[in-house]
Structure 1
């Protein structure tokens, strides 16, 4: 939690004190207030504030100076504040390599973020800076990274598409840097969703990153939703799209053939072939389980190119992912499938869900009617019992 920043002295006196203090540290700034207004005056102060990181050792003293600057920023009208907010984020948010005050920097940025008006677009400027710094210093736990929360904030900010994309792209890079690949994928999908058919070609690099991140993540198995994204559709006919399609609905043998013909391409993506083989084995097993209630070890061995001793260990690894629910019959050397996750969710699956829901609705209506009948019978019985017997 951050505390609001308020200094109970007049703005001209605040700027004068800050100027004098920064000059005493050795900053090249005059003590006199500028005649051109608080915005120019404040920019001069923020520009000179960098000296605090070099000349002040106590973090509390540094934060006191920058919190004083934040108080002045909050006085600047929203329409004029973006330039000074951006400059403040530049001075505070760019930590040099090996800097040990990153958490202190983040607290200052968070203080500004929290005290800006909830509808201020400048909050997005600050948040972008916070995310970038946190990603570089492995402190993402200190900043908000939830996509749903950012989407809610943006209903008030109403950022331009370019600025929203910049925020998501910065967040994606930070999450990848901190090895949070699953969350990074969610952010990238959100980013790709901001493109339309008219500008999908501009998202080429983002679409590539999204696909590679999903393929490389050992815990991501369902990827058919990527094919529906306009920037990914734009890549149809390219090797990266062909590779994604194999992971979405292809078999292990198809991946092997692709890798044989495009080894250099796969390696250029930074993907590990053995990891790809492991994932494709699991995906192929999921696909086999969709149409079979039982699978002999021999079939699994043949389809997944496993040694006789490796089948049972492989199935155990699959069960750990919870993508397939099954039991192993060691005596009869087979796997009994109880439930499996579908690799793709087609129109047929939606139709099945609709049919099942319709059946549930029908059953509930029948139960409701039966309960109504029973209730009426109960009421009639109570009325009969309450009626005095005639002599």
Structure 2
């Protein structure tokens, strides 16, 4: 095994150029190989003298495919460490960005060949860069490499720090979209990351506005996917999808209109509406991999939440039975399921056959809910102000009474 360790006064960069050139021309014979190796070394030296760092990187990358197939992983890491360090040479941030783009693009070309090592090289390159946008571009390529090379487990820990990264990168809308969608797709393949995948898909959809109609059509497939993910999830009972422009555009769409209708049923209606929809769209549910029985179970819980929000605080068993289309003996078990899922805070009054609701989860939290919250806060503030005024008035009265009593004693 050959390892690139400079042992002479030759520059490490020239050592790498010589090493890769010799490997590239190894099968051509000494008479052909030696002049080519010398030519490449002379050209590399000239680039260094003239400060043409981008040309130097291009020259070094010309043999990248060959050394990935022939060199050991230890040699590969050494070669690319020296190559990546060249990004610290130019003073121009634009040139640094071009070099980073060139190196990272080459690294991800063969994602199935030593993907973990390629990912490690990209991370090393990322840490050498000072320009936030250049860092973002390298990170985005690492996401693509991890996905194509099936080594997403190496990228998951970095996704947890995404809030900090976003503050540093300060991305525009287009870059945000590409990033959020890439992360969502990675998390979708990771066990136990369904909610996080849905969150990043939602972030992606939020980047589209009603004024962005020309670009919004590109989000139709992802919008439908977000709806299906929400409906399929057994433990997601609320979302803000319904009023998003990227979602609303599906309402009158020939292909995705029924999917939007399904979301509306799950967020605003009850079980009977779902059953009517399913009777007319059973093939659609199967197309998206939605299981009818699972949908019924979720809609029963959603219907129970709707009862808690729209009926009186005391819901008779008979009303629950009718809305959930269940037997008498099942009422309490479904209420317990809703409590366990933290959808309801309530008490079960078995003697009077009623459920006394003290709190309900909102299925949708849009403009109307914000207005209701504002009204409640204004009322609460008014009540608090009234209490404070009463306390102050009582205190003044008490102080006055004590003062009069003091005069009387004197």
* TM-score with structure 1 setting the length: 0.79
* Greater Rg over alpha carbons, structure: 2
Secondary structure (helix, strand or coil) at the match of 1:68 reads: helix
Which residue is equivalent to 1:128?
Answer: 140
Of 51, 65, 77 in structure 2, the residue corresponding to residue 63 of structure 1 is 77
Specify whether residues 95 and 299 from structure 1 end up closer, same or farther in structure 2 by C-alpha distance, changes over 3 A only: farther
Query: RMSD over aligned Cα, in angstroms?
Result: 3.6
1:181 Cα deviation after fit = 2.1
Tell me what 1:262 maps to: 281
Matching residue of 2:16? 18
The aligned counterpart of 1:243 is 262
Alignment partners' CA distance in 2, 1:372 and 1:20: 91
Alignment partner of 1:325 is 2:345:
yes
Cα pair distance change 1:188/1:355, threshold 3 Å: same
Residue 87 of structure 2 aligns with which residue? 73
Cα distance 1:340–1:49, how it changes in 2: closer, same or farther (>3 A)?
A: same
Deviations 1:33-65 (A, max 9, x none): 345632122023234334454444455x54333
Compared CA separation, residues 338 and 66, structure 1 to 2 (3 A)? same
The residue that corresponds to 2:57 in the other structure is 42
Instruction: Please tell me whether the aligned partners of residues 266 and 299 of structure 2 are also in contact (alpha carbons under 8 angstroms).
Output: yes
When normalised by structure 2's length, the TM-score is 0.76
1:293 corresponds in structure 2 to 313
Shift of residue 349 of structure 1? 3.6
1:261 deviation in Å?
A: 0.7
Gaps of 5+ in 1: 1-6
User: Conserved in 2, the CA contact under 8 Å of 1:294 and 1:335?
Assistant: yes
Aligned length: 368
Question: CA 1:163–1:348 in structure 2 vs 1: closer, same or farther (change >3 Å)?
Answer: closer
The answer (yes or no) to whether the contact 1:47–1:91 under 8 Å persists in 2 is no
Distance 1:376 1:129 in 2: 73
Give the 5 Å matches for 1:1-391.
13-26=11-24, 30-34=40-44, 35=46, 37-59=52-74, 61-76=75-90, 77-93=92-108, 96-97=111-112, 99=114, 102=116, 104-117=117-130, 119-135=131-147, 136-139=150-153, 140-145=155-160, 148-155=163-170, 158-159=171-172, 161-179=173-191, 180-196=193-209, 197=211, 198-199=213-214, 200-223=216-239, 225-237=240-252, 238-290=257-309, 291-330=311-350, 333-345=353-365, 347-365=367-385, 370=391
Structure 2: any 5+ residue segments left out of the alignment?
1-5, 27-36
Structure 1 position 215, deviation (Å):
2.0
Between 1:237-246 and 1:34-43, the stretch displaced more is 34-43
Secondary structure at the aligned position of 1:286 is classed as helix
Residues 318 and 324 in structure 1, CA contact (< 8 A), matched pair in contact too: yes
The separation in 2 between residues aligned to 1:236 and 1:163, in whole angstroms, is: 27
Deviations 1:2-48 (A, max 9, x none): xxxxx9x99x9343121122234447874443456321220232343
